[in-house]
């Protein structure tokens, strides 16, 4: 087994490659989102440092020493102006070292260059076309479309990847980049059902935000781009910048989820080629987030992604520690722990956030508070908004707002026990409708829709502003990077119209610790900015406790996470931010750094043994002779030992005419025949029941192959319950029947034919309403 760390980042997440026998698994964050901080957002007019310093004294600039220093600075800035915004600092431009041991493949080299006769001076062309601005001592790209860094994926040969495992929403943003290279990537992507539902909406919103930013910016002529300058091509090529790409499209996202994504529920396993069994287990981070358990023969390998143990204070299903850590042979831990040094728990962070939010709102009668966040953040603070903040209106602006609120209420099995019990009382887990009905929350897809609403409201009042009891407002919008979405528009708006009574609270732990986040706004923003990071991830203390309780045989983690305890008289505060490896008695610790590979041999984790159905990977290659020197033409089952990536056949169950095998095959055939007969009887009986109830009111709905019908009955039942239809479920072998208790009506879900039929007796209106409810649920799923 080989584990390679392709990328290691506390901010953006790690990217790992796992190779087991001939199977290659990729998991983690495939896109470095923080790179967009090097660009300037739309809507703002940023004054450059040179403009602000124009009146400074020139008396000290005439000395020979100053002139010499100025020439050196000018020469250095020729490169800095172009390369520093792309986050390449302190480079040796004459001999740039190759940071990767592996030779990079180049499937992502998409940018094409054209010769430019008029581009004689790259720096001058850039200056004239305002492609960069120097703000607060730092260069930022201005009038240039955003490019995304994919250099780490060039190390991987995409055609070798069999499986991509998705753990949380941060992992999804690079997937369409991979799947649009259809000639190279032939594998499958696995994620949980809510990850597929909500993740697709988040990606589409991300595309809209990026397109809007690029359209708003004055991109100038094509020849003015950094990536087009002939003199810079070789330099950019050496730095890998020529491999940066424009963002994917709507069509790329649709193709990714339709052709490559497979959806699973928690604890639902799938087996790859009869060899590796993979199971998603709840991580407690957000709706549908998971850790993965890999079972390879008798070996158990755990992948610990971003997780949260604070289920009592949050909405997701609890972190499934027991099933993940029990009897682990190998545990792989990435850069997943809290970023803050103070290591506050979620309930403490939430309390501090509420106090700051409340103080801002109480500072004036017309206070406005801007929260630049991901749309899913609304689920974290819904209780605060409902129960603790009164006489405050919430403005929620997001393209995916409606879908997220609806998905959250129907994804009952992914919520904690407290929220699940609300369904039994016919109450939605999240009470968004209470806020909407009380006019305490207004939801808009975009800023245009919001402005149109304000305009209509003003016209209704005869063009005169009316008294509004909710004069205090919380504006929840994205993106937390302040480079995309409506957040920069709102900050600019509040600066112009209400700066003395306006505040912005930064909560997203991925961005708010980065000094680049607010650097462009240092001299352009007068709105008071508060920092209140909310990070539900595990702390070092929590992970230490888990490791000491379950003691996996081998731990692979970042080198920065470990620290040896050398003495008894130790400052315990120093060890809140490290795993104390001497406490992990019986656990072998391997530290891993970026671009480093850990190879585990049979001596490290024991010989891999496998007994069961023969993997096709092996069945197609093995040629064995039995004791009678007769070739085995068909391999049904196999008992194998793997050693140093070579397999040894211990025993084979073949298709030869041996007495024991004949008996076994006969017994298997009888069981199969009996099972098929039973299924046929059940379907026949079900058909007779349905035939007796057929009336003129029958509707048939064909279902998309992407929707997991067998796992969607609970969501369908919940939606019907919320629509006023009490129901109960009867399950047959290939058929699920939902019967409405107060009406002579039933919904039959045929798993084999992938269709849903609605049958009602003498009540056409009920049938229409049920039919619409089902379509609404399927659209959400």
C-alpha 282/C-alpha 277 separation (Å) is 17
What is the model's pLDDT at position 463?
A: 56
Mean pLDDT of 717-728: 82
Mean pLDDT of 233-246: 66
What is the model's pLDDT at position 608?
A: 63
What is the model's pLDDT at position 518?
A: 92
For residues 521 and 165, which has the higher predicted lDDT (pLDDT)?
165
Does the pLDDT of residue 160 top 50, yes or no?
Answer: yes
Q: Are residues 597 and 611 in the same domain?
A: no
Total number of domains constituting the chain: 5
For residues 283 and 103, which has the higher predicted lDDT (pLDDT)?
283
C-alpha 495/C-alpha 687 separation (Å) is 67
What is the model's pLDDT at position 537?
A: 92
Q: Are residues 445 and 461 in the same domain?
A: yes
DSSP string, 698-745: EEEEE--TTS-GGG-HHHHHHHHHHTT--EEEEE-SSEEEEEESSSSE
Question: Could you give the angle at the alpha carbon of 176 between the alpha carbons of 174 and 180, nearest 5°?
Answer: 130
* H helix or E strand, kind and range, residue 638: strand 635-643
Is residue 281 one of the residues assigned to a domain?
no
Q: Are residues 612 and 594 in the same domain?
A: no
Is residue 662 one of the residues assigned to a domain?
no
Domain boundary among 602, 619, 642: 602
C-alpha 576/C-alpha 574 separation (Å) is 6
For residues 269 and 701, which has the higher predicted lDDT (pLDDT)?
269
Burial tier of 59 (Cβ tally within 10 Å: 0-12, 13-18, 19+): exposed
What is the model's pLDDT at position 642?
A: 53
Is residue 289 one of the residues assigned to a domain?
no
Kindly report which listed range (25-34, 442-451, 700-709) carries the lowest average pLDDT score.
700-709
C-alpha 653/C-alpha 666 separation (Å) is 14
Please, how many CA atoms are within 13 Å of residue 544, restricted to the half-sphere of its CB?
A: 16
For residues 274 and 531, which has the higher predicted lDDT (pLDDT)?
531
Our CA dihedral for 122, 124, 126, 129, rounded to 10 degrees, sits at -140
What is the model's pLDDT at position 148?
A: 85
Domain that holds residue 23: 2-52+66-88+97-264
How far is CA 198 from its chain centroid? 10
What digits encode the pLDDT tens for the residues 546-577? Answer: 998 999 999 999 988 876 554 333 344 444 56
- pLDDT tier at 751, thresholds 50, 70, 90: confident
- pLDDT tier at 443, thresholds 50, 70, 90: very high
Count Cβ atoms below 10 Å from residue 205 Cβ, excluding itself: 24
What is the model's pLDDT at position 629?
A: 41
C-alpha 21/C-alpha 272 separation (Å) is 12
Q: Are residues 399 and 471 in the same domain?
A: yes
Mean pLDDT of 438-452: 91
Does the pLDDT of residue 353 top 70, yes or no?
Answer: yes
For residues 145 and 295, which has the higher predicted lDDT (pLDDT)?
295
C-alpha 776/C-alpha 781 separation (Å) is 9
Q: At what angle do helices 193-216 and 401-410 cross, to 10 degrees?
A: 170
C-alpha 225/C-alpha 143 separation (Å) is 9
Q: Are residues 550 and 529 in the same domain?
A: no
| 695 phi/psi in degrees, rounded to 5 | -135, -170
Scanning the structure block, which residue is given the tokens 């068909």? 634
Is residue 8 one of the residues assigned to a domain?
yes
- Sequence-separated (6 or more) residues with CB below 8 Å from residue 57: none
Q: Are residues 147 and 108 in the same domain?
A: yes
What is the model's pLDDT at position 320?
A: 95
Q: Are residues 379 and 493 in the same domain?
A: yes
What is the model's pLDDT at position 120?
A: 32
- Residue 309's closest CA among 353, 352, 351, 345? 345
Is residue 321 one of the residues assigned to a domain?
yes
- Tokens representing residue 338 in the block: 């809290």
- pLDDT tier at 92, thresholds 50, 70, 90: very low
* H helix or E strand, kind and range, residue 422: helix 417-424
Q: Are residues 429 and 575 in the same domain?
A: no
Domain boundary among 561, 582, 602: 602
Burial tier of 596 (Cβ tally within 10 Å: 0-12, 13-18, 19+): middle
Kindly report which listed range (38-52, 185-199, 424-438) carries the lowest average pLDDT score.
38-52
What is the model's pLDDT at position 384?
A: 85
pTM over 0.75: no
Please, how many CA atoms are within 13 Å of residue 403, restricted to the half-sphere of its CB?
A: 21
What is the model's pLDDT at position 552?
A: 92
- Sequence-separated (6 or more) residues with CB below 8 Å from residue 607: 641, 642, 643
Is residue 269 one of the residues assigned to a domain?
no
For residues 344 and 531, which has the higher predicted lDDT (pLDDT)?
531
Mean pLDDT of 107-114: 37
- Tokens representing residue 229 in the block: 């300058």
What is the model's pLDDT at position 195?
A: 95
- pLDDT tier at 341, thresholds 50, 70, 90: low
Does the pLDDT of residue 437 top 50, yes or no?
Answer: yes
C-alpha 236/C-alpha 226 separation (Å) is 9
- pLDDT tier at 216, thresholds 50, 70, 90: confident
Does the pLDDT of residue 585 top 80, yes or no?
Answer: no
Is residue 287 one of the residues assigned to a domain?
no
For residues 231 and 748, which has the higher predicted lDDT (pLDDT)?
748
For residues 642 and 482, which has the higher predicted lDDT (pLDDT)?
482
Residue-averaged pLDDT of the chain: 75
Answer whether 501's CB lies under 8 Å from 364's CB: yes
What is the model's pLDDT at position 665?
A: 41
What digits encode the pLDDT tens for the residues 287-332? Answer: 999 999 999 888 899 999 999 998 888 999 999 999 999 999 999 9
Domain boundary among 249, 264, 279: 264
Is residue 286 one of the residues assigned to a domain?
no
Q: Are residues 229 and 328 in the same domain?
A: no
Task: Map 577-616 to HEC letters.
Answer: CCEEHHHCCCCEEEEECCCEEEECCHHHHCCEEEEEECCH
Kindly report which listed range (143-147, 262-266, 638-642) carries the lowest average pLDDT score.
638-642
- pLDDT tier at 701, thresholds 50, 70, 90: low
Percent of the chain with pLDDT over 90: 31
C-alpha 469/C-alpha 393 separation (Å) is 9
- Tokens representing residue 407 in the block: 């998905």
| 323 phi/psi in degrees, rounded to 5 | -70, -30
- pLDDT tier at 659, thresholds 50, 70, 90: very low
Count Cβ atoms below 10 Å from residue 355 Cβ, excluding itself: 11
Q: Are residues 497 and 628 in the same domain?
A: no
Kindly report which listed range (324-328, 481-485, 533-537, 725-729) carries the lowest average pLDDT score.
725-729
C-alpha 221/C-alpha 186 separation (Å) is 38
C-alpha 749/C-alpha 712 separation (Å) is 10
C-alpha 40/C-alpha 141 separation (Å) is 6
Q: Is 745 left (phi over 0), alpha (psi -120 to 50) or beta?
A: beta
C-alpha 2/C-alpha 601 separation (Å) is 9
For residues 649 and 118, which has the higher predicted lDDT (pLDDT)?
649
Mean pLDDT of 400-412: 91
C-alpha 128/C-alpha 119 separation (Å) is 12
What is the model's pLDDT at position 3?
A: 94
Determine the 3-state secondary structure of 280 from DSSP.
strand
Q: How distant, in Å, are the alpha carbons of 2, 6, 192, 302, 747 from that of 596?
A: 10, 7, 29, 19, 55
What is the model's pLDDT at position 490?
A: 92
Prior bond of 479 cis (ω within 30°)? yes
Q: Are residues 593 and 612 in the same domain?
A: no
End-to-end CA distance of the chain: 37
Does the pLDDT of residue 626 top 60, yes or no?
Answer: no
Q: How distant, in Å, are the alpha carbons of 286, 311, 609 from that of 414?
A: 9, 12, 35
Count Cβ atoms below 10 Å from residue 467 Cβ, excluding itself: 6
What is the model's pLDDT at position 505?
A: 96
What digits encode the pLDDT tens for the residues 60-81? Answer: 555 665 665 565 555 445 444 4
What is the model's pLDDT at position 312?
A: 82
Q: Are residues 130 and 102 in the same domain?
A: yes
Mean pLDDT of 81-95: 38
C-alpha 28/C-alpha 17 separation (Å) is 9
Determine the 3-state secondary structure of 296 from DSSP.
strand
| DSSP conformation class of 317 | P
What digits encode the pLDDT tens for the residues 484-531? Answer: 999 999 999 898 887 788 999 999 988 988 889 999 988 888 899 999
CATH number of the domain that 765 lies in? 3.30.160.690
């Amino acid at each position: 087994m080989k584990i390679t760390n392709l990328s290691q980042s506390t901010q953006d997440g790690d990217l790992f490659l796992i190779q087991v026998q001939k199977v290659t698994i990729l998991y983690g964050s495939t896109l470095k989102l923080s790179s967009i901080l090097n660009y300037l957002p739309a809507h703002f007019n940023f004054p450059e440092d040179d403009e602000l310093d124009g009146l400074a004294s020139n008396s000290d600039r005439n000395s020979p020493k100053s002139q010499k220093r100025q020439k050196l600075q000018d020469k250095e800035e020729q490169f800095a102006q172009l390369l520093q915004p792309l986050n390449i600092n302190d480079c040796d431009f004459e001999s740039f070292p190759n940071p990767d041991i592996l030779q990079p493949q180049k499937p992502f080299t998409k940018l094409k260059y054209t010769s430019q006769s008029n581009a004689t001076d790259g720096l001058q062309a850039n200056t004239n076309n305002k492609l960069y601005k120097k703000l607060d001592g730092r260069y930022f790209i201005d009038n240039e479309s955003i490019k995304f860094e994919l250099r780490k994926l060039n190390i991987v040969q995409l055609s070798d990847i069999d499986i991509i495992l998705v753990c949380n929403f941060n992992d999804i943003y690079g997937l369409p980049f991979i799947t649009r290279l259809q000639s190279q990537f032939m594998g499958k992507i696995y994620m949980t059902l809510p990850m597929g539902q909500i993740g697709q909406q988040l990606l589409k919103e991300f595309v809209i935000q990026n397109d809007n930013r690029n359209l708003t910016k004055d991109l100038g002529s094509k020849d003015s781009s950094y990536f087009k300058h002939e003199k810079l091509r070789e330099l950019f090529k050496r730095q890998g910048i020529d491999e940066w790409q424009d963002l994917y499209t709507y069509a790329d996202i649709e193709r990714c989820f339709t052709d490559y994504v497979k959806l699973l529920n928690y604890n639902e396993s799938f087996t790859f080629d009869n060899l590796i069994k993979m199971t998603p287990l709840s991580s407690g981070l957000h709706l549908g987030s998971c850790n993965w358990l890999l079972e390879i023969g008798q070996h158990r390998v755990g992948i610990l992604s971003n997780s949260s143990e604070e289920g009592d204070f949050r909405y997701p299903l609890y972190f499934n520690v027991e099933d993940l850590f029990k009897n682990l042979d190998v545990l792989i831990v990435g850069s997943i722990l809290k970023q803050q040094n103070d290591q506050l728990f979620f309930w403490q962070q939430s309390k501090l956030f509420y106090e700051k939010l409340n103080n801002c709102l109480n500072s004036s009668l017309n206070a406005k508070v801007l929260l630049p966040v991901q749309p899913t953040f609304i689920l974290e603070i819904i209780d605060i908004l409902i129960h603790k903040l009164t006489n405050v209106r919430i403005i929620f602006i997001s393209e995916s707002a409606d879908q997220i609120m609806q998905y959250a209420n129907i994804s009952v099995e992914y919520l904690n026990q407290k929220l699940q019990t609300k369904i039994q009382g016919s109450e939605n887990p999240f009470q968004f409708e209470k806020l909407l009905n009380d006019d305490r929350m207004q939801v808009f897809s975009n800023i245009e829709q919001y402005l149109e609403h304000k305009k209509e409201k003003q016209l209704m009042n005869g063009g005169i502003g009316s008294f509004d009891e909710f004069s205090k407002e919380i504006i929840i919008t994205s993106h937390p990077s302040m480079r995309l979405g409506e957040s920069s528009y709102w900050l600019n708006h509040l600066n112009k119209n209400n700066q003395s009574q306006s505040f912005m609270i930064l909560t997203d732990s991925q961005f708010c610790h980065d000094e680049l986040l607010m650097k462009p706004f240092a001299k352009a923003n007068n709105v008071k900015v508060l920092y209140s990071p909310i990070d539900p991830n595990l702390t070092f203390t929590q992970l230490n406790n888990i490791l000491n309780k379950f003691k996996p045989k081998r731990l692979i983690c970042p080198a920065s996470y470990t620290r040896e305890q050398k003495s008894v008289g130790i400052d315990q505060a120093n060890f809140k931010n490290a795993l104390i490896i001497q406490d992990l008695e019986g656990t072998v610790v391997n530290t891993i750094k970026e671009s480093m590979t850990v190879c585990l041999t049979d001596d490290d984790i024991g010989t891999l043994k496998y007994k069961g159905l023969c993997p096709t990977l092996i069945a197609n290659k093995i040629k064995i002779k039995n004791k009678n020197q007769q070739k085995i033409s068909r391999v049904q089952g196999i008992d194998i030992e793997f050693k140093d990536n070579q397999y040894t056949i211990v025993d084979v169950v073949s298709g030869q005419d041996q007495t024991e095998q004949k008996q076994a095959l006969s017994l298997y055939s009888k069981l199969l025949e009996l099972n098929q007969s039973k299924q046929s009887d059940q379907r026949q009986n079900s058909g007779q029941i349905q035939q007796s109830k057929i009336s003129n009111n029958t509707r048939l709905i064909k279902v998309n192959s992407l929707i997991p019908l067998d796992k969607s009955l609970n969501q369908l039942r919940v939606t019907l319950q919320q629509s006023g239809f009490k129901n109960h479920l009867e399950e047959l072998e290939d058929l699920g029947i939902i019967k409405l208790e107060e009406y002579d009506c039933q919904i039959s879900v045929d798993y084999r034919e992938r269709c849903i039929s609605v049958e009602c007796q003498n009540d056409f209106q009920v049938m229409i309403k049920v039919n619409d409810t089902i379509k609404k649920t399927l659209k959400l799923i």
